[in-house]
Amino acid sequence: MFIPCGETFPDLSGFTLLMPAVSVGNVGQLAIDLIISTLDMCKIGYFYTDCLVPIVGNNPYATAKENAAELSTNAEVYSLPSKKLVVLQLRSIFIKYKSKSFCEKLLCWVENSGCARVIVLSSSHSYHRNDKQLSSTPFRYLLTPSIQKTVQNKIKSLNWQEMEKSPCIPEIEDSDLCVRVPGGGITKLLYDESCCKDIQMAVLLKFVSEGDNIPDALGLVEYLNEWLQIIKPH
Amino acid sequence: MAATFFGEVVRAPCRAGTEEEEEEEEGRRETPEDREVRLQLARKREVRLLRRQTKTCLEFSLLEKHPCSRFIIAIGSNAVAFLSSFVMNSGVWEEIGCAKLWNEWCRTADSTHLSPTEAFCVFYQLKAHHSVILCQCSCYVAEDQQYQWLEKVFGSRPRKNMQVTILTCRHVTDYKTSESTCSLPSPFLKALKTENFRDQTCCSLLEQPNIVHDLPAAVLSYCQVWNMSAVLYLCYTDVMKLDLITVEAFKPILSSRSFKGLVKNIPQSTEILKKLTTTNQIQSNIYT
């Protein structure tokens, strides 16, 4: 559940929620770290749950000795009211069998808080690409039906590539096609649940391999910025 | 997937944790019998708080039943030995509860009775001042049990007028630093504190990118989220089993406000500690 830092709950109506999926290369999380530190976002609360492995450490975005001693936990919420942005950062993995419960709790919070839309930053195993995907851009997007109505034209104008469907059961040739995000953590679960609940959600992901994934995170944030124009491109 | 030098293709480990597809597949393959086994295992792994004297379960959370202003938790054998020698020795403490849990590392028998050898997580209250509670926890509380442990101990309503102190150890190889590890003065203390902890810490703060896991992290997270005053003292050591030098590394915290009035006779405590560590060494000799 969301617990605010202060006494009152902040008003998040109409805000865009950015969040990572804990996925291959931790690309989504690195991208969210980049967004929080670049925009100097303010911590507004915690997403306290029994679904994530507990971890604590000192402020990862410290810029001076004064703010280096602020404690950080495994799931924190930051905001930038001037751009109607709210960001959830996840810093640890899910406890076994708890990922579905987390999705339910998260989407419940999204609905109750009045957030206008959710954008999930994620990644997928690059070794799962088919021949066509190998020769195209490594970035993909997914839109739930309810967000398609509002952003489809903008996305079309960006010439982005939608995540291709693949056989639900890869071993069977004429198996039904469905959205699969191998290595994407809870990306598919969040996407499917959002489709069912009519939540406006977009997924932006990159095909990556494990390694130094900082450049992948930079690329993913630039991809996001093409759409949201959070900061002016150079 | 990744290829090894020998040309075999293996599944590469993923930093993001368990593959979600494995969990989905497990869910699809799960028969009613599998589900029943999983639920039974979940029930077996439940954390319960007992009163050993009456062999009954505590109805409320420990701190709801025994409110206090100072709650000191020792996690791990060295931290437990420190509290036993320096704090418990200096007053009369009564046992007010015991946490019973089962996991792969801590296999207590499945009953409401806990034998002395199974009492891995015990809570004590100072008889003279009910305002201080100690927890001696020498068992491993697994990830899926930590939240339950917090609920059973702290309850649903956080107590703002309480200061929590957590003592634990980590192996020095877990400490990330740009300095050479040879120059590290092991054992050494580091601290993490919540926003509401206003006192001075007895050592320097734990620098990024170091993080803390397990029960100490769960307790500190709880305190931070609920605006409670809490401090974690973490001893990095190269000896994780009971060790005199490691235990003595906690000594600087005796002068802190958390321990005010609790420590009376340090030389006697040191003697008790020496006996404790010597006994442990003899027991670990395979020839005796």
Ramachandran angles phi, psi of A171, nearest 5°: -70, -20
Give the model's pLDDT for residue B22: 53
pLDDT at A158 over 80: yes
Q: Is A167 helix (H, G, I), strand (E, B) or coil?
A: strand
Looking at beta carbons, which residues of chain A come within 8 Å of B20? 99, 184-186, 188-189
Give the model's pLDDT for residue B175: 94
Give the model's pLDDT for residue B157: 75
pLDDT tens for each residue of B182-214: 788 889 999 999 999 999 999 999 998 999 999
Give the model's pLDDT for residue B287: 62
Task: Please judge whether B213 and A54 are an interchain contact, meaning their C-beta atoms are less than 8 angstroms apart.
Answer: yes
CB-based contacts of B124, cutoff 8 Å, min separation 6: B88, B93, B94, B95, B96, B133, B134, B135, B136
Task: Please judge whether B217 and A23 are an interchain contact, meaning their C-beta atoms are less than 8 angstroms apart.
Answer: no
- Both tokens assigned to B163: 């200061």
Q: Report the predicted TM-score, pTM, of the whole model to 2 decimal places.
A: 0.90
User: Which among A3, A43, A46, A50 is the top mutation candidate for probing chain B, defined by the most B β-carbons within 10 Å of its own β-carbon?
Assistant: A50
Distance between CA atoms of residues A84 and A16, nearest Å: 6
Distance between CA atoms of residues B185 and B205, nearest Å: 16
Give the model's pLDDT for residue B119: 58
Q: What is the mean pLDDT of residues B25-44?
A: 77
- Is residue A120 within a helix (H) or strand (E), and if so which, with residue range? strand A117-125
Give the model's pLDDT for residue A68: 85
Give the model's pLDDT for residue B262: 86
Instruction: Quickly state the pLDDT bin for A37 (edges 50, 70, 90).
Output: very high
Distance between CA atoms of residues B48 and A188, nearest Å: 36
Task: Please judge whether A184 and B1 are an interchain contact, meaning their C-beta atoms are less than 8 angstroms apart.
Answer: no
Between A215 and B43, residue with greater pLDDT: A215
Distance between CA atoms of residues B217 and A56, nearest Å: 5
Q: What average pLDDT does the structure give for chain A?
A: 92
* Residues present in chain B in total: 288
Considering chain B, what percentage of its residues have pLDDT values greater than 90? Answer: 42
Between B221 and B281, residue with greater pLDDT: B221
Q: Is B196 on the interface with A (CB under 8 A)?
A: no
- Interface subset of A 37-56, CB within 8 angstroms of B: 46, 48, 50, 53-56
* Chain A: closest CA distance from residue B22 (Å): 10
Give the model's pLDDT for residue B285: 57
- Is residue B26 within a helix (H) or strand (E), and if so which, with residue range? helix B20-29
Instruction: Quickly state the pLDDT bin for B231 (edges 50, 70, 90).
Output: very high
- Both tokens assigned to B120: 């891995």
Looking at beta carbons, which residues of chain B come within 8 Å of A125? 1
pLDDT at B137 over 90: yes
pLDDT tens for each residue of B13-33: 666 665 555 555 555 567 888
DSSP E strands: which ranges in B60-217?
70-75, 93-100, 121-126, 132-137, 163-171, 188-193, 211-212
* Chain A: closest CA distance from residue B149 (Å): 11
Whether residue B187 has a cis bond before it, omega within 30° of 0: yes
Q: What is the mean pLDDT of residues A154-175?
A: 83
How many residue pairs bridge chain A and chain B with CB atoms within 8 Å of each other?
105
pLDDT at B109 over 60: no
* Closest Cβ opposite residue A55 in set B16, B148, B217: B217
Q: Is B198 exposed, middle or buried (0-12, 13-18, 19+ CB in 10 A)?
A: exposed
Instruction: Quickly state the pLDDT bin for B228 (edges 50, 70, 90).
Output: very high
Instruction: Quickly state the pLDDT bin for B108 (edges 50, 70, 90).
Output: low
Q: Which residue of A has its CA nearest to B143?
A: A53
- Interface subset of B 202-261, CB within 8 angstroms of A: 205-214, 217-218, 220-221, 224-226, 232
Looking at beta carbons, which residues of chain A come within 8 Å of B211? 55-57
* Closest Cβ opposite residue A71 in set B21, B207, B224: B224
Give the model's pLDDT for residue B160: 79
Give the model's pLDDT for residue B15: 65
Q: What is the mean pLDDT of residues B164-184?
A: 90
pLDDT at B110 over 60: no
pLDDT at B115 over 60: no
Give the model's pLDDT for residue B23: 55
- Interface subset of A 122-151, CB within 8 angstroms of B: 125, 127
Q: What is the mean pLDDT of residues B32-43?
A: 85
ipTM for the predicted complex comes to: 0.92
Q: Which residue of B has its CA nearest to A212?
A: B15
Q: What average pLDDT does the structure give for chain B?
A: 83
Looking at beta carbons, which residues of chain B come within 8 Å of A23? 16
Q: Are B170 and B210 in contact (CB under 8 A)?
A: no
pLDDT tens for each residue of B78-105: 999 999 888 888 778 999 998 888 888 7
Q: What is the mean pLDDT of residues B222-230?
A: 95
Between B285 and B71, residue with greater pLDDT: B71
Find, among A101, A106, A69, the residue nearest to A89 by Cα. A106
